[in-house]
Chains A and B, each alone.
Chain A
Amino acid sequence: MAAAGTLTAEAAQPAGPPARRRAGWVPALRAPKIAIGLGIVILFIAVAVFGPTIYRVNPSSTSTDLLQGPSAAHWLGTTQSGQDVLAQLIVGARISMFVGFVGGAIATVLSLFVGVLGGYLGGVADEILSVFTNIFLVIPALPLVIILAGYLPGKGALSVAIVISVTGWAWGARVQRAQTLSIRKRDYIEAARIAGEGTMRIIFSEILPNEIAIVASSFLFTVIFAILTEAGLAFLGLANLSSWSWGTMLYWAQSDSALQVGAWWWFVPPGMCIALVGAGLSMINFGIDEFVNPRLRSAGISTSRRPARPSRGQSGRRR
């Protein structure tokens, strides 16, 4: 693969014993990017979990306040049929976040399975698995999700999450394969093998702990992908339109011509939420990247363009 060679993963450098690495995670939490990103994401999770029990307005109940702008009674205004936009936003967070995190989790498990197994086993198994990965990598995701979802009978949140994960695992699998390939050659893996540890034990307790950063980063990336894809599917009308998510809100805003009547309070908030969650997740991601690959840090080296450390010809490259 032409591109695979450029994708050698960054965590190749800090591969100390596990105990030292765990201690190494504490400063990561103090990095501003990770802290801000985590703050945003936790806030939205809290809204999804507790929001509807605190803000007790039925998002589907109609009222006579049609297309009202933001006011004291309706903080984010109302829709065409007098529904409260804030209530929809809060309840909608549930499905959007659920599909995002569940879809991301399933895809990450799939990608770990394919990537780590291929990278560790090598040979024909690896060839087959990586051709398989690359195929799913180049088939454009959204059209594939659309035809899968189009035939889906129920279109519940879980089935949408599963469909999304089917198309979202390949990116992570490629990164994890590259990382596993580089770890596999290390002495301590050889030692474990000679000591007679089984394949599963080597994979789970020797290789995976050293890939946590990469796994976390591809999980976060896939969550963003899943949230965006859910929104896109719902916007197309390919979700359960009787339940609320940020995507279905946008669907109704578009089909009830919120744009033409100038109801910006209707379609701006759901998109802002998606973008904020996405930005939060990416910030954590960049933070992790900079933590494992110090060259990407820009703070404190403004006087010199060049970090003091010499190159290892290794690229910490992401998409």
Chain B
Amino acid sequence: MRYVTRRLGFYLLTAVVAITINFLVPHLMPGNPAQILIANFRGRVSPAAVKSISALFGISHAPLWSQYLTYWRQLLHGNLGISFSFYPATVASVIERSLPWTIWLVGTATVISFVVGTLMGIGVAWRRGSWLDATVPVTTFFSAVPYFWFGLVVVYVFGVVLHWFPLFGGYSSGTTIGWSWSFMASAFYYSILPATTIVVSSIAGWLLGMRNMMITTIGDDYIVLAEAEGLTERRIMLAYAARNAILPSIADFALSLGFVVSGAILTEIVFSYPGIGYVLYQAVDNEDYPLMQGVFLVITLAVLAANLVADLCYGALDPRTRQGG
């Protein structure tokens, strides 16, 4: 229980820090570009909207502290401001529209890459010294490849040259968004290439982590004992070694998730996939600062939530975390 509250407290604190950074950046960076934009914006939108944007960006003569409180009040009401580029849509509504796409794409890709990468890591460590070791340098190379560049190559090969998959988008323009069979099939078809890109680029991290941990675990005495007892190799590998070696992989989920999400943002841009990464790109492209900051907040909070879940799983799996400290 103590573990759970500690983790919860830590993520709450992190969320507060992230929100504070989001508030401070426009204030601390020299030459606030949002100010110029709002000047251009005035007259085209309602005074209330200008006021709300001003509060979010600190275009006000009130002291910093009271601006900060106003900012929190707005956030707690779910008000992230108005998007410049999608005017009159609010930032919250633009993000809400794109979020399901990203959750589906990044969620599936992360799960696949974690499961496959971990299994491969177990295999490579167990058969150490065999041809499987040759996969390690290959995956090293892939882990250094920028996700989005790999995406470009994948689009070129499978989209432009082979015509197997669509070049960009999240679903066929002939279908309408909804729970219909044809839409789901099309959305699945369009997500294959971007998901493959994310899986291939992120798998190396899991593989290498698991491999190194397995190698360390295999040297432990209880593995020798298990072997002496004549248990099957498969049982030792999975139920003895892997079961213990996987714990750090889960604990490191936090770090890896940040990398994967960052990579996925750029991957979405390559594929013009209608997720939150592509929205971020449009925000950058149109100098839409409210949208940019809203996306940062939502991505950060989502990553924190996912980490909290991973930590709770870790706590459930590893009894040591439950004994105080």
Contacts and interface: CB of A to CB of B under 8 A. Distances in A.
A joins B in a complex: yes
B225 to A, nearest CB: 13
A317 B212 contact: yes
A141 B258 contact: yes
Contact of A3 (B130, B254, B293, B295): B254
A171 B219 contact: no
B256 A319 contact: yes
A110 B296 CA distance: 24
A82 to B, nearest CB: 21
Interface in B269-301: 269-270, 280-281, 284-285, 287, 289, 292-293, 295-296, 299-300
B129 interface: yes
B144 A236 contact: no
B186 to A, nearest CB: 21
A69 interface: no
Contacts of B45: none
Interface stretch (A21-29, A57-65, A182-190, A302-310): A302-310
B284 A262 contact: no
A296 B215 contact: yes
B148 A143 contact: no
B26 interface: yes
Interface in A97-150: 131, 134-135, 137-144, 146-148, 150
B251 A307 contact: no
A151 B255 CA distance: 26
A144 B296 contact: yes
A138 B255 CA distance: 6
A306 B153 contact: no
Given A147-B292, A302-B129, A319-B209, A2 B303 contact: no
A295 B29 contact: no
A2 B10 CA distance: 11
A274 interface: yes
B119 to A, nearest CB: 18
B33 interface: yes
B258 A147 contact: no
B311 A146 contact: no
A93 to B, nearest CB: 15
B248 A3 contact: yes
Contacts of B315: 2
B238 interface: no
Nearest to A247: B146
Contacts of A81: none
Interface in B231-283: 247-248, 251-252, 254-259, 261-263, 265-266, 269-270, 280-281
A46 B11 CA distance: 44
Interface in B147-186: 148-150, 152-153, 155-156, 159-161, 167
B70 interface: no
**Taking chain A's interface residues, is the majority helix, strand, or loop, or is none over half, making it mixed?**
helix
A267 interface: yes
Nearest to B289: A150
Contacts of A306: 218-219, 223-224
Interface stretch (B16-24, B80-88, B92-100, B109-117): B16-24
A303 B261 CA distance: 41
Given A235-B269, A316-B216, A143 B129 contact: no
A254 B281 CA distance: 13
A139 B129 contact: no
A289 to B, nearest CB: 8
A302 B149 contact: no
A252 to B, nearest CB: 13
A305 B251 contact: no
Contacts of B3: 2
A312 to B, nearest CB: 9
A216 interface: no
A242 interface: no
A149 to B, nearest CB: 9
A235 B155 CA distance: 16
A315 B281 contact: no
B102 interface: no
A271 B266 contact: no
Contacts of B129: 298, 301-303, 305
Contacts of A214: none
A258 B219 CA distance: 51
Interface in A168-223: 171
B229 interface: no
Given A224-B144, A302-B129, 18 more contacts: A134-B10, A139-B14, A139-B300, A140-B257, A150-B289, A153-B30, A231-B146, A235-B148, A235-B266, A235-B269, A259-B152, A259-B159, A260-B160, A270-B149, A282-B144, A283-B140, A301-B129, A318-B212
27 contacts: A3-B254, A131-B10, A135-B13, A138-B258, A146-B280, A146-B296, A152-B29, A228-B144, A231-B148, A232-B262, A235-B148, A235-B269, A250-B148, A253-B152, A259-B160, A259-B167, A274-B144, A275-B142, A275-B145, A279-B141, A281-B144, A298-B133, A302-B130, A309-B219, A311-B219, A314-B216, A317-B209
